[in-house]
Amino acid sequence: MQTPLTPLEFARRARSLYGDRPAVVDGDQRWTYSQFFDRCDRWSSALQQLGVAPGDRVAYIAPNTHAHLEAFYAVPQIGAVVVPLNFRLLPSDWVYLVNHSGSRVVCVHSEFLDIVDAVRHEMPAVEHFVALEGARAGWLDYEQLVAAALPEFARAEIAEGALLAINYTSGTTANPKGVMITHRNAWVNAVGTLLHSPMTCADRYLWTLPMFHANGWTFVWIVTAAGGTHVCARKVDAPNVYRLLGTERITMLCAAPTVLIMIASAPDELRLNAPRGVRVVTAGAPPAAHTIERVENELGWTILQVYGLTETAPLISVCEPRPEHAALSPGERAKVKAMQGVELITSGHLRVVDEQFDDVPRDGATVGEIVVRGNVVMEGYFRDPEATARAFDGGWFHSGDAAVVHADGYMEIRDRLKDVIISGGENISSIEVEGVLVRHPSVHEVAVVGMPHEKWGEAPFAFVVLKPGATLTEDELRDFARARLAGFKIPKGVTIVPELPKTATGKIQKYVLRGGRAAITRQ
């Protein structure tokens, strides 16, 4: 009587129970669950007609649209693997990711058609390029394919250990790693998240979080499991977010700290008219307690902090509210809410360990690495057995994040062991940025670290040692980087220094650099 654990079961249930209820809102377009899943079935049928078979990869470069959401059902229900790509990357990044994943089909939003057109010849394994919007010569038209296809298709037999998605993360090197998420991983994460952040069919969820981010933290399936309404936000800025909050009667959203800051810092005319009672799940980087306090006190919203990684499907801890927190002052309560908290009921065994792999004491001071094992942990890195073996050293997944544990068992991240910078929810490899900057003819040595930033929560900053006799301005180096890096990876500030602090063995002491400069608040 066992059935595979797969989020496709949420689709079956929603279609049966919520068929006439609103499923998706995308601008002026609206679909019920029956209509939405009819479209998914037709796209599954069209993909099979294009030759897509179980195990094949289908890549997407798109913002939060109905077509992007349909991918998370239409692709896996034929046994294929969805590969949602970060649309903020450079064309060269897309070429690498598409080729590394071996995607046979690439689906692209109209905003990026010209860019992909220019590099199509560098993706020789791709058999079909599909324009999700904006028909043009040389591209298949998504809406025409959906309309022409029959809703009947060969539904695959899904094993819960089968690959569902490949989510690329920048990690700590220039070449991203493909995180293999199984049907079981996604199902367990979705159910666990629902236990700690319940939803019902009355909820209306605003898509401010990119769907490409770890499958939208699995909310692409969570909202459907509850029978709620997906409201797509193609553009995430304060006017559009506040407009949709009101017109679409939003009750819940997910937000990286940069979106929280944007919401809290919006003009009074927007904030004063915002609906109250909105529930917000935040992750991606530890949000400032001040930001949490402003959002909760000024807007009357409730914030829930969670923590995880792409490799853990993604959530493994939650700052679980407790009755004693209600007695704290707003400021003290906000400080607690800024912690990463305790393991989710379903996430598995979460530990903070020292170099001997012993649990650190619950003293709020001793730093260790977060490790985890359980049903949300990835299958491994796609086509990278060496990196997979390193990640699972000792039989536990190593997060690379350093944290302390408080007396009540609440975990709090203090640093990142791998020097990954999390800016606005985006992972930035300091090694990658350093590798670009050091190629400037005036640069002798460079170190890039994450520093506090008012808008992005954290952002990359560069400390540069010049070659003898060389001159260089901050704007010149940033322009140099802009031509070679995605926009969010460009350092927000550059400091010219005579030398970099180092250990006796020559290792740069980045913690010294982090502590030597105040938070930068400019754009």
Supply the pLDDT for residue 486.
92
Q: Is 147 exposed, middle or buried (0-12, 13-18, 19+ CB in 10 A)?
A: exposed
Residue carrying structure tokens 């692409």 = 220
Residue 239 vs residue 88, higher pLDDT: 239
Greater model confidence, 145 or 450: 145
- Architecture (CATH level 2) of domain 343-416: Roll (2.30)
pLDDT of residue 439: 85
C-alpha span between 108 and 62 (Å, rounded) = 6
- Amino acid 54 reads P
Strand partners, 287: none
pLDDT over 90 percentage in the chain: 76
DSSP helix/strand/coil, 303: strand
Q: What is the mean pLDDT of residues 298-307?
A: 95
Q: Determine the 3-state secondary structure of 493 from DSSP.
A: strand
* Amino acid (1-letter code) at residue 174: A
Query: Distances from the Cα of 118 to the Cαs of 43, 91, 98, in angstroms?
Result: 26, 9, 14
CATH 3.30.300.30 segments of the chain: 420-515
Place of tokens 């079935």: 41
pLDDT at 515: 75
Rg (CA), the chain: 23
User: Going by C-beta distance under 8 Å and a sequence separation of 6 or more, which residues neighbour residue 336?
Assistant: 319, 325, 328, 410
| 226 touches 260 (CB < 8 A) | no
* pLDDT at position 301: 97
Helices 8-17 & 183-196, crossing angle to 10 degrees? 60
pLDDT of 216 reads 96
pLDDT at 520: 38
DSSP classification of residue 127: -
> What is the arithmetic mean of pLDDT over 417-432?
77
Q: How far apart are the first and last CA of the chain?
A: 57
Separation CA 392–CA 374 (nearest Å)? 12
Compute the CA torsion angle 243, 249, 254, 257 (nearest 10 deg).
40
Measure the CA–CA gap between 287 and 301, rounded to whole angstroms.
Answer: 15
Rounded-to-integer distance, Cα 362 and Cα 119, Å? 52
Q: How far apart are CA 307 and CA 411, in angstroms?
A: 10
Structure tokens at 442: 């005036």
pLDDT band at 173 (very low <50, low <70, confident <90, very high): very low
DSSP code for 520: B
- pTM of the entire structure? 0.86
Distance of CA 508 to the CA centre of its chain: 29
Name 62's Cβ contacts closer than 8 Å, sequence gap at least 6: 68, 87, 107, 108, 109, 112, 132, 211
Exposed/middle/buried for 431, CB within 10 Å: 0-12, 13-18, 19+? Answer: middle
Helix (H) or strand (E) holding 169: strand 163-169
| Per-residue model confidence as pLDDT tens digits over 95-116 | 999 999 999 999 999 999 999 9
Which is it for the CA torsion 438, 440, 444, 449, positive or negative? negative
The pLDDT of residue 455 is 83
pLDDT digits (tens, 9 = 90+) for 266-298: 999 999 889 999 999 998 766 667 788 889 999
Span(s) in the chain for CATH 3.40.50.12780: 8-18+30-183
Both structure tokens of 187: 């199902």
- Pairing state of beta strands 380-381 and 177-182? antiparallel
> Is the model's pLDDT at 505 over the cut of 60?
no
Token readout for 179 is: 């995180």
In one-letter notation, the amino acid at residue 426 is E
Distance CA 334, CA 289 (A): 5
Residue 445: which pLDDT band, with cuts at 50, 70 and 90?
confident
pLDDT of residue 504: 42
What is 8-18+30-183's CATH superfamily?
ANL, N-terminal domain (3.40.50.12780)
Q: Beta partners for 381? A: 179
Measuring CA to CA, which residue among 109, 67, 59, 104 is closest to residue 84? Answer: 59
Most trustworthy range by pLDDT among 87-91, 287-291, 319-323, 518-522:
319-323
Per-residue pLDDT tens for 39-93?
Answer: 999 999 999 999 999 999 999 999 999 999 999 999 999 999 999 999 988 899 9
pLDDT digits (tens, 9 = 90+) for 198-208: 999 999 999 99
User: Taking all residues of the chain, what is their mean pLDDT, rounded to a whole number?
Assistant: 92
Written as one string, the DSSP assignment of 181-234 is: EEHHHHHHHHHHHHHHS---TT-EEEE-S-TTTHHHHTHHHHHHHHT-EEEE-S
Residues sharing a CB contact under 8 Å with residue 402, sequence separation 6 or more, in sequence order: 367, 368, 369, 370, 413, 414, 415, 416, 417
Query: Which residues lie across from 466 on neighbouring strands?
Result: 443
Beta bridge pairs of residue 352: 370
Question: Are the C-beta atoms of 332 and 290 separated by less than 8 Å?
Answer: no
CB 206 within 8 A of CB 244: yes
Q: Does domain 420-515 have CATH number 3.30.1300.30?
A: no
CATH 2.30.38.10 residue ranges in the chain? 343-416
Q: How many CA atoms lie within 13 A of 9 on its CB side?
A: 14
For residue 282, the 8-state DSSP code is: E
